[in-house]
Amino acid sequence: MTIRRLKHTAHIHHKPYPFSISDLQQNGAEMGTAENYDEVLKGKYPAKAHAKAVAEAIVKAGGDKEGTVYLEGQKSKLIEDNDEEAPFRQRRFFFYLSGCNLPDSYLTYDIKAEKLTLFIPPIDPEDVIWSGLPMSVEEAKEAFDVDSVTTTNEVNSYLTSSSTPKSTIYAIPDQISDHITFLSYNEKDLTTLKPTIEKCRVFKDAYEVALIRKANAISTTAHINVMKAASRAKTEAELEAIFIKSCIEQNAKEQAYHSIVAAGENGATLHYVKNDAPITTQNLLLLDAGCQVDCYASDITRTFPLKGEFTQESRAIYDIVLEMQRQCTEVLKEGVVWDDVHLLAHKICIAGLLKLGILKGSPEELLAARTSVAFFPHGLGHYLGMDTHDTGGNPNYADKDSMYRYLRVRGELPAGSVITVEPGIYFCRFIVEPYLRDEGQRGYIDEGVLERFWSVGGVRIEDNILITKDGYENLTPTPKEADELIRIIKTG
C-alpha cells in the first residue's frame, strides 16, 4: 500500500538497534519456508520472547531493571447512538507482548522476575446470555505464551502487591484507564515504552514471519481470483467483493487495510478508495489489497489488463515498473541503505521514461531537477508487520527534498525486517500538470508524447520482502510476469 502523508514528523536518524534479531528468535528458530508456515503456527505466539526483548532494551538504555511494563488492550465500544458493538481492533503494542486478541484485557511484565501476567475479563452472567461463555482463565493459560493469567478485577491489587519499592512503571500515555493506580511505584515513565516496542517490532521472529507468509498466501489466492473474474466484471465493487469473499473463505476475516480497486485513470490516485466506478473501456486494473492473519498484515499490489491485453502504452509502463521492482529487490540485504534503493528506483524510472520520449534531457539533469517525482511521487516502500505501515521506519515528512519526503523508511535495513517494495508510475493530472506549468520543469517533459499515456492511469507492483543477512526472501508468491497475468485472465 502506497505512502500517504499523515503529518509532519521531525527526522530521527536511523540508529543501530540496541539488540539483535537473535534476541527475538526463540532458540535460534529458523524463519521457515513457504511450505511450512502452518507447522510454525502450531506453536504459541512468542509473547514472552517479545516482552523480554523489550525489557532488555529498556534496561540497556539505562532503565530500571526492577521495573514493570504495563499495557492495556483495546476497549470494547458501542457505535455512537447505537447499541451495536463497534468493530474491534486490538492495540498492537498490547498484542506484541501478549498474543491476546481479547478486548478489555491488561498485562504486566515484571522485568526482574521475567514474569508476564495477563488479565482477561471475568465472566459476566448477563453477557453470557447474549454472547455465550467467554474465554476462561484456564483456557487463556493454555492459549497464550504467558506465565500467569487472572481476571481484570485483580489488576490494581496485583500492581500494589507485586511492585518493588522505589521501582518504575513503564506505560503508554492515553492507554491507561482512569481506575488504574500506579501509587505503589516510585517512578512513572510514560515516554520509554512505546518507542522501545516500535524498535523491537522492526525485527520479525519465525512466528511473525509465518503469519505474514500465511497472509500473503491467502491474499495471493484472492488476487488470482480477481484476475480470473476481471474480464467479466462490470464495476470495481464486484472485484473488491471477490477479493474479500476469497479471504473470508480462507478464514481471514479482516483486511489489513481498505482495498484499492482502481480501473483505468482511477489508478492514478495513490489511495483511491471509492472502488465503485463502472468498468467499461479501461485497460488496466490496479488492485492493492491484502488480508491480515492474527493481526499480521499482507500488502500486495498487482496491476493487470482487465481483458487480458495490454495496450502498447500500458505494457511499456508495466515493463518499466516491473524492472524497477526487480532491480531494487535484487540489491536488498542486511545493511543496505533504503534511501539508496529508493534513489535506484528513480534512476530506472527516468531511464524508462526517457526511452519512451515522455521525458527529455539527460538522466543527470532529470534526477537533479526531481522531474521523476511527478510520475513516482511516493516512497518505495515501508516496514510491514502488525500494521500495514509498520513501526520503526524513522520517516521525515518535513524533508525539503521532494524525492525523499514520503519515504517511510530511512537508513539501513536490519536482518529480520520485512519491507514492501512497491515502485509505481502514475499519470495523475493533479500532480503532473503543475510540472508542465513550471518554468524549470516543463522543458523536461514532452507533452505530445505524454498525451498518449493519460489513459494508463497508474501502474504499481508490490511485494513483501524479508531482509536476511546475505540477501532477501520474497514472501509474496502472487503472479506478476506479464505473460502469466495474461494467461490467468484469459483462461479465468
**Residue 292 in grid coordinates:** 491480515
In a domain, residue 486? The reply is: yes
- Tens of pLDDT along 347-386? 999 999 999 999 999 999 999 999 999 999 999 999 999 9
In a domain, residue 15? The reply is: no
25, pLDDT greater than 70: no
Q: Indicate whether 49 and 162 sit together in one domain.
A: yes
Q: Indicate whether 370 and 466 sit together in one domain.
A: yes
Residue type, 41: L
* CATH classification at residue 216: 3.90.230.10
Q: Indicate whether 289 and 421 sit together in one domain.
A: yes
In a domain, residue 117? The reply is: yes
Q: Do the Cβ atoms of 474 and 329 come closer than 8 Å?
A: yes
Band of pLDDT at residue 29, cut at 50, 70 and 90 = very low
| pLDDT at residue 31, rounded to an integer | 52
Q: Among the three residues 170, 201, 232, which one is the final residue of a domain in this structure?
A: 201
Number of independent structural domains in the chain:
2
Q: Indicate whether 170 and 230 sit together in one domain.
A: no
In a domain, residue 191? The reply is: yes
Q: Indicate whether 141 and 221 sit together in one domain.
A: no
Handedness of CA 485, 486, 491, 492 (dihedral sign): positive
Contacts of 97 (CB under 8 A, 6+ apart): 47, 50, 51, 54, 69, 71, 107, 109, 116, 197
Q: Among the three residues 201, 226, 243, which one is the final residue of a domain in this structure?
A: 201
pTM: 0.93
- Tens of pLDDT along 462-478? 999 999 999 999 999 99
* CATH classification at residue 126: 3.40.350.10
Residue 278 structural domain: 206-491
**What is the C-alpha to C-alpha distance for residues 244 and 263, in angstroms, rounded to an integer?**
18
Band of pLDDT at residue 9, cut at 50, 70 and 90 = very low
Band of pLDDT at residue 2, cut at 50, 70 and 90 = low
- Tens of pLDDT along 136-192? 999 999 999 999 999 999 999 999 987 777 799 999 999 999 999 999 999 999 999
Q: Indicate whether 166 and 213 sit together in one domain.
A: no
- Tens of pLDDT along 379-425? 999 999 999 999 999 999 999 999 999 999 999 999 999 999 999 99
Q: Indicate whether 298 and 324 sit together in one domain.
A: yes
Q: Indicate whether 243 and 138 sit together in one domain.
A: no
What percent of the chain clears pLDDT 70, i.e. is strictly above it?
93
Band of pLDDT at residue 128, cut at 50, 70 and 90 = confident
User: What is the average pLDDT score of the chain?
Assistant: 93
Q: Among the three residues 201, 223, 246, which one is the final residue of a domain in this structure?
A: 201
| pLDDT at residue 178, rounded to an integer | 95
Output the DSSP codes for 180-215: ---TT-SEEE-SSHHHHHHHHTTS--HHHHHHHHHH
